[in-house]
Structure 1
Amino acid sequence: MADTELERAEKRYAQAKARLQALKNREATRQRKLDTRRKVILGGALMDLAERDSGAAAMLDRLIRNLPREQDLKAFADWETPSPAPSNSDPETPS
């Protein structure tokens, strides 16, 4: 049984539509991965800065305390917010 021109066109249309959806899905996955990578990098940078800067340490502590989801809070249950080590140039540190 030979396909009619209309049936062949519908088949090509369905295949093109499936390819388009696959491309959209790949792009969405790529964007999610990039977003996750950015969050990990920024989180690491904030944690590193908190070890050197008391303002960043306070911000990090405040961010953790205000996490809205219980499962997110549990991830930080045993974790201590980094606190800046006193530097030798600190005027309040005795020589």
Structure 2
Amino acid sequence: MFFTEAQFSARPDAGRMALAALNCHLQARGYLANDAKHLSGALCQQGFCLVPRAAFNRFLEKACGGPAALGSWRLADGGGQADRDPRPAAYSGAA
């Protein structure tokens, strides 16, 4: 589970591109979800959705049950391009 904080950028849509790249990076490393904490229209456009608290708590237990990925992240060889499908994974609500 990854927890995203607010993002700001000096260029239009740079934050959207950064978030898309981050989500591809997280998916490639086995993260189950990216929690944006505060849902907005812009985040909904990028595939984020509101999850009921009980379902989120079950999902959190499952996502945080494994070892933590600590340390510095490095881009894979290949110029930093995503090697995974950037579409959001389906969320069933079942943990």
* TM-score under structure 1 length normalisation: 0.25
| Structure with higher RCO (Cα < 8 A, 6+ apart) | 2
- The structure richer in strand per residue is 2
Which structure features the higher share of helix residues? 1
TM-score of the superposed pair, with normalisation by structure 2: 0.25
